[in-house]
Each structure stands twice: as structure tokens, then as C-alpha cells.
Amino acid sequence: MLLIASKEHLLAKKKIVDLSSLKNEKFIFREKGSGTRMATDAHFKRLKLKPEIRLELGRSDQEEVAILKCKEFPIESSWHIVSPKGKQLSPIATILKERLCQQAKSWK
């Protein structure tokens, strides 16, 4: 499971997060029916935890994407856009790639 939080969040200061400490947190999950969601739901159920789901996301290439400019965003890293050689991207993935490339010019 990938957990993402503000660097100011209390749990972000821990090296390892115990799942029981997540009982009062809010989550973004994959859509119901996805393998990731089923595995996550099953794991929380085994732990007798009911996560508060704030947002459900579908397949990433089917989502509307907004690229937001943020001042003083705390994470700096290098990103690469990759796709399988010889495979044509879906129309929405092509649009996302074009928007990311266009936006990246202003990040330099």
C-alpha cells in the first residue's frame, strides 16, 4: 500500500506506519471492483478497520486530469514519461502526455 501525506502530518514523521494508526485518516482508493481495491478492502476487513474513503479513482487513463501549479510544493524530483515500445497510447493517455510535456516546460 502506498500512503501519501503532507510532510507535516504526524504519521509522516514515523519510519513505519502501523495500520491501526490509520483508523481516523481519510483515504483516496481505487474504484470498487479493481484488484487493488479488493485486496485493500480485504486487508482492512481482516484488521477490523473501516477506512473513511474521501475519493474513489478509476483507471488512470480514464480519468479527467487537472495539472495544478502550486507554490512552494515540498517535493522536488525528476519524472519521466514512459510507455511500452510499439504500443499506441489511448486517446486520453495521449492528451495527458501532451499536457504533461507542455506543463513541464514551465517547471524548468
Determine the Cα–Cα distance for residues 102 and 24; give it in Å rounded to an integer: 39
Q: Out of 22, 40, 58, pick the residue that ends a domain.
A: 58
DSSP-assigned letter for residue 32: T
The confidence score (pLDDT) of residue 107 equals 66
Residue 34 located in a structural domain: yes
d(CA 11, CA 4): 10
Q: Tell whether 52 and 71 lie within a shared domain.
A: no
Q: Tell me, what's the pLDDT at 69?
A: 56
Q: pLDDT tens for residues 1-54?
A: 567 777 788 888 888 887 778 878 888 787 888 888 888 888 888 888 888 988
Residues 48 and 66 in one domain: no
User: Rounded CA gap, 89 and 97, in Å?
Assistant: 9
Q: Same structural domain for residues 20 and 50?
A: yes
Q: What is the pLDDT of residues 12-22, one digit of tens each?
A: 888 888 777 88
- Whether 22 is in a domain gets the answer yes
Structural domain that includes position 101: 62-107
- Residue 61 binned pLDDT confidence (cut-offs 50, 70, 90): very low
Number of domain units in the chain: 2
Residue 82 lies in a domain: yes
96/4: higher pLDDT? 96
- Inside any domain, residue 4: no
How many C-beta atoms lie closer than 10 Å to residue 96's C-beta?
19
The pLDDT value given to residue 44: 84
Within-domain flag for 48: yes
Looking at the chain, list the stretches that DSSP marks H as alpha helix, in order from N- to C-terminal side.
35-46, 91-107
90 band by pLDDT with thresholds 50, 70 and 90: confident
In this predicted structure, what is the pLDDT of residue 62?
46
Quick check: is 47 in a domain?
yes
